[in-house]
Amino acid sequence: MRYGMAVDTLKCVGCSDCVVACQTENDVPIGYCRDWIVEKTFGSYPELQLEIRSERCNHCANAPCVRTCPTEASHYGPGGVVLVEENECIGCKACITSCPYDARFVHPEGYVDKCTFCIHRVEKGQNPACVSVCPTHAMIFGDMDDPNSELSKAMATRKWKALIPEAGTDPKVFYLL
């Protein structure tokens, strides 16, 4: 089982609901966020294109943060989800500097925090909070190993990209184009 996520850039309106839902679901402190929205505009007026992406930890299969963690606090959880065990984290921040996506931060309590793909929900059979609230149904969460999952189907039929694949991290969040 390999959990992954696809964000449909054609449907995403960048409303940031995913960001607030994550914040309330996971008690992310005010002033911090585990996911965010990027808007990229190409071209010159009036020939323009806009790409909107809801971004978060890519739960890389070859995660530099797991590699550089001196204590195994950063580890691969169920389905390859990259997690931080807060009571093993010493706060050295090597994982933060090693993440090309800037997806991690130091929680005010000292340990390093990040997106968990809402594994506590996923293990109960629910979608991650961000996916579950998205008003435009722009996000798909699922098992990449299951060819019948909505995620696998979308990736088989749509054009997609991942962020900085050339960094060699093997990211598992995809952007449908």
Partner 1 sequence: MSHTMNRREFIKIAGVGASSLAFATPLFDFSKGEVLAPDTHPGMYSKRTPTYCEICFWKCAGWVHTNEAGNIWKITGHEDDPHSNGRLCPRGTGGVGMYNDEDRLKTPLIRTGKRGSQTFREASWDEAFEYIADGLKKIAEEHGPECVALFTHGSGGTYFGDMLKAYGSNNIAAPSYAQCRGPREVGFISTYGEGVQSPERVDIRDTRCLVLIGSHFGENMHNGPVQEISQATGKGASIITVDPRFSTVASKSKFWLPIKPATDLALLLAWMHVIIYEGLYDKEYVEKYTYGFEDLKAHVAGMTPEWAYGITTIKPEQIRATAREMANASPRVIIHPGRHVTWYGDDTQRLRAVAILNAILGSWGRRGGYYYPEKVSFKSYPHPPFPKPKRTWKDAYPGQYKLAGLALASGICDATVPTTERDCSFKGWIVNGTNLIHTLPNQENTLKAIDALDLMVVIDTMPMEITGYADVILPECTYLERYDSIRVSPHREPTIALRMPAAEPKYNTKPAWWMAKGIAEKLGLGHYLPWKNIEEKLDWELKQVGTSLQEMKRIGVKKFEREYDDLYPMEDLADFEFNTNTGKIELYSTAMEDEGYDPLPKYTHHEEPPYGYYRLNYGRAPMHTFSRTANNPNLTDLMDENSVWVNPKVAKGWDLKNDQYVWLENQDGVITKTPIKVRVTERIRFDSVFVVHGFGHTNRHLSRANGRGASDADLITRVHTDPVMGGTGMRGNFVTFRFEAGEEVSS
Partner 2 sequence: MIEEIITSGRMNPEIDPVLHVWGWEIPFYLFLGGIAAGLLIFSAYFSLRGREDELPTAVKWMPLGVPVVISVGLIALLLDLSHVWYFWQLFTNIRWESPMSWGAWTLTVITPLSIAWIAIWIEDIFPNWDWKFEEVKTVIKWLKEQKRVLAQVLILLSIILGMYTGILLSAFNARPFWNTSILGPLFLASGLSASAALIVFFSKSEVEKRLFTRIDIILIGIELFLIVHLFMGHLAGTQVHIQAAEMFLGGPYTVVFWIFVVGMGLVLPVVLELLELKHKFIPAIVPVVLIVGGNLMLRFIVVSAGQASRWLY
**With binding defined as CB under 8 A, does residue 33 bind partner 1?**
yes
**In the set 63, 81, 138, 144, which binds partner 1 (CB under 8 A)?**
138
Token pair 């001196």 in the structure block, residue:
70
Which 3-state string (H, E, C) describes 83-111?
Answer: EECCCCCCCCCHHHHHCCCCCCEECCCCC
Contact status: 133 vs partner 1 (CB under 8 A)? yes
> Could you say whether residue 123 binds partner 2 (CB under 8 A)?
no
Contacting partner 2 (CB under 8 A), which of 5, 94, 118, 130?
94
Compare residues 24 and 71 and give the one whose CB is closer to partner 2.
71
Is residue 45 at the binding interface for partner 1, with CB under 8 A as the rule? yes
Identify which of 2, 51, 55 has the alpha carbon closest to the alpha carbon of residue 164.
Answer: 55
CA distance 13 to 21: 16
- Distant-in-sequence contacts of 38-43, Cβ < 8 A, 24+ apart: 39/14
**From candidates 61, 92, 119, 154, binder to partner 2 by CB under 8 A:** 92
Q: For the beta carbon of residue 114, count every other beta carbon within 10 angstroms.
A: 22
For partner 2, the binding residues (CB under 8 A) are 14, 16, 19, 31-33, 35-44, 64, 67-73, 86-94, 96-100, 102, 104-106, 109-112, 163-164, 166-168
